[in-house]
Amino acid sequence: MGRVAVLRLCRVPVCILRDAVRCNLSRKSSGLAGTHSTSTTDSGHSYQAVLCTKLKKPLVIQQLSSVALKPTEVRVNVHCCGVNFADLLICQGLYQHRPPIPFTPGMEFAGCVLEVGPNVTSIHKGDRVIGVSSTGAMAEQCVVDHEMLWPIGEELPYEVAATLPVSYGTAILALQQRAKTQPGETVLVTAAAGAAGLAAVDFASHVLKAKVIAAAGTDEKCELAMQKGAVAGINYTTKSVKEEVKKLTANKGVNVVLDTVGGDIFKDAFSRYFYR
Ligand SMILES: NC(=O)c1ccc[n+]([C@@H]2O[C@H](COP(=O)([O-])OP(=O)(O)OC[C@H]3O[C@@H](n4cnc5c(N)ncnc54)[C@H](OP(=O)(O)O)[C@@H]3O)[C@@H](O)[C@H]2O)c1
């Protein structure tokens, strides 16, 4: 019996999603883009942060005071953070998690450790790390529990590393932990050229050793997914995913569907033609 891992949350207008989801907020030592930095990030006393002070209104940048660390927490000097669909939702009050206002949005980041709490032994000052947090990443400093951080190598640029936690974390959670994908199984990934999609294609193909069929909205996107490891691509703007899956699998269907689109494709994913 096949399995479906659903990541679809809800739709926002296309223009918002396309403009915002795949970009990164990138900050180098000069401070956040478009601001005059007066922060003292290195000493850890104060820092600049993006703040949502009112839902559905423009975000503001303010100087905040650092808070003391709890014993298992780590303070990171954030160099880059990802901007995800969920960040857009949370700033509109449309996400399942609704933090009290004002809050700093941002769920994933890459940076350098400034300070560790007294009970932290696995991470040290100066380490390069990536991390996840429900909020707080769109700031010069982010404080998280040490379990939400992972070390990264010198060769991985911060702007690339910052995009890994949500996309790859989601792919790993969905395909390995939820769907329990096995080597040799066939996985269909929709929106395969998106952030979550490409991570899923890469992880399923190269780590889980599955055969991946990539479905996406253009031939170029299908090609990109195939460069990441997919064995076949289906352009769902011009072809029926259901019919193409039948052809590609000799009517056997796939073992796992990872859908981040919803709508008709999601309904199709429950079709018996999709499953072995
Ligand atoms: N933990 C989680 O639950 C989790 C984690 C990450 C992402 N997600 C969700 O997964 C979805 C994709 O996230 P992502 O980071 O991969 O986004 P992304 O990089 O922007 O990719 C989104 C893809 O969705 C397709 N799409 C279909 N309808 C769309 C529309 N109306 N507007 C824009 N794109 C549309 C596009 O591909 P085509 O043109 O090929 O259709 C696009 O490449 C989002 O709903 C996000 O919230 C959930």
61 CB-contact burial (10 Å; exposed 0-12 / middle 13-18 / buried 19+): middle
Where are any strands of DSSP class E within the chain? Answer: 3-6, 24-26, 46-51, 60-65, 73-82, 108-116, 128-132, 141-145, 149-151, 186-189, 211-216, 232-235, 256-259
Cα-to-centroid distance, 12 and ligand 1 (Å): 10
Cα-to-centroid distance, 265 and ligand 1 (Å): 13
Relative to the CA of 21, which ligand 1 atom is closest?
A: 20
| pTM (two decimals) | 0.83
Alpha helix positions (H), the chain: 14-20, 85-90, 158-161, 164-171, 195-202, 219-227, 241-248, 263-269
Residue-wise pLDDT for 58-92, tens only, equals: 999 999 999 999 999 999 999 999 999 999 999 99
What domains can you pick out in the chain, each with its CATH number? 46-164 (3.90.180.10), 179-270 (3.40.50.720)
Q: What 3-state DSSP class applies to 14?
A: helix
Q: Which helix (H) or strand (E) holds 107?
A: none
Residue-wise pLDDT for 159-191, tens only, equals: 999 999 999 999 999 999 999 999 999 999 999
Question: Looking at the predicted structure, is the pLDDT value of residue 29 above 50?
Answer: no
Binding site membership of 9 for ligand 1 (Cβ less than 6 Å): yes
Binding site membership of 7 for ligand 1 (Cβ less than 6 Å): yes
Cα-to-centroid distance, 194 and ligand 1 (Å): 6
Q: What was the pLDDT predicted at 44? A: 53
Distance of CA 130 to the CA centre of its chain: 12
Question: What mean pLDDT comes out for the span 142-149?
Answer: 98
